[in-house]
Amino acid sequence: MKISWKKELKVKIQSFGSALSSMIMPIIGIFIAWGLLTSFVHPKGWTPNQELASMIDIGIIYVIPLLIAFLGGKRVYDLRGAAIASLVAIAVIAAGQSYLFKEITESSGSMLLGAMIFGPLAALILKHTEKFWINKIKSGYEMLVNNFYLGILGFVLLFPIFYICVYVIGYLNVGLSEMVKAMKNYKLYPLLAIIIEPAKIFFLNNAINHGVFTPLGTAEVSETGKSILFLLESNPGPGLGVLIAWIIFGGRKNKEIKAQAASTIPIHFLGGIHEVYFPFVLLKPLLILSVIAGGIVGNLTFQLFDVGAVAPVSPGSVISQFIQVNKNWKDILGLTLGIVFSASFSLLCAWLTIYLTEKYSKKKMILTSDLKIAQEKSKNMKVNKENKIFDKKINVIFACDAGMGSSVMGSGIFKNLLKSKEINNIEVAHKAINNLQGDEKIIITIHSLFDRVKAKNPNAKIYDLDQFLNKKRYEQIIEEIINETN
């Protein structure tokens, strides 16, 4: 019972985090464009232009909150949810520009938090108030009734949401602003690594980066022109240190680990998909201390050099970080040293962890039981033409937290394997876990997300992986799919 409770709690926490990130991830490109615009035409930018700078406020005050509300509503109740969420965004945005809000916060504000809260909330209200009669409307009147109900409900919600946003979001912004100022004044940013790094390992990285740091950092950029918050979770240094440690100090018995760690580094460091290094930390849970140590050193360096980015860094690639960092020699130098120092310190701690556990542990190091099984089976596995499927289409879904990172990479590898084996009847797609419809037959996901996928679609055949780069496990899955179908 206790184990079940822990799994259920983990699923709920991951789902909540995914809900927050799902409103930000699809429009990261817009944040990047807005950040570049700010970098160039802001009064403190590279090429200040007062006329063009008016676009900065239009983007962050109106366009981005509206899109966040739209995406949040769509996730809850498809296009009808998106429509009413966009409607109540009028009240949310107006609240941030009202004199009442300015009296509380002493300035107008971008209502990213308000859009993230009240957009999905309006969609939930619509969904649960009309579900009792939506399918009972007489034929020919559906469009009339549905549109009028959405419009009237949206009109009614505008007024309470306006005043709730003024006071609730207003005082919340004040509290969060004071918290950020306190962290800056008391030099507390390094300690955030104690929370950030373990949370990333449990696939809460998108929730932290996009659900928490993005709205706080965006507000700080509006005031100061840059924010350190965008760099804390996205720093690839701590994970890089652990991967290098496995390559150098993994030992002779762990050639498979060393090879996979080497192939993971470009995807993590350059591609910005941090999820690929999580399994290497979980091989020895004490390595969590290594990434925490690396994170503390990196954050401390960022803090000492007063480094900041002008927009969210996503994906967490070293390329994205240098694109979004404030273009000042001190910021660029501090960012470079922060990444190098965090990777180096993480590498040192990871080496000590691997060395000491290998020396004093009585158990032989293995990657995971799944990998060992895959390695043994793959020796005798060979998909030939007699095993191919010719008369039936098989749909395979790769599922990850956001549906835009590791699942895309995994599905690409899987497709290439199918192509090399001349198997044309298995179709592969990728989705966020929250977007699973419940009718999927075969799902492939990472082991840490297995419980969430199972809760979303208990009837599917779910294959779990130790990591998305495990080609031998993919070959085993292909063999099993073919055998079961035949």
Q: Known catalytic residues?
A: 400
Q: Which residues contact 243 (CB under 8 A, 6 or more apart)?
A: 261, 262, 264, 265, 268, 277, 280
Query: 431 - beta bridge partners?
Result: 399
The CA distances from residue 10 to 2, 163, 407, 416, 449, in Å, are 12, 34, 20, 33, 9
Token readout for 446 is 């990472």
Pairing of strands 426-432, 394-400: parallel
Report the distance separating Cα 470 and Cα 480, nearest Å.
Answer: 16
Report the distance separating Cα 156 and Cα 476, nearest Å.
Answer: 56
Element (H, E) at 282: helix 278-282
**Spatial contact of 250 and 231, defined as CB atoms under 8 Å apart:** no
Closest listed residue to residue 36, CA positions, set 323, 235, 331: 323
Token readout for 26 is 């699809």
Closest listed residue to residue 445, CA positions, set 430, 458, 435, 434: 430
Pairing of strands 442-446, 426-432: unpaired
Closest listed residue to residue 52, CA positions, set 35, 72, 37, 65: 37
Report the distance separating Cα 298 and Cα 302, nearest Å.
Answer: 6
User: Which amino acid is residue 124, in one-letter code?
Assistant: L
Closest listed residue to residue 406, CA positions, set 341, 283, 299, 316: 316
Q: How far is CA 355 from the centre of its chain?
A: 32
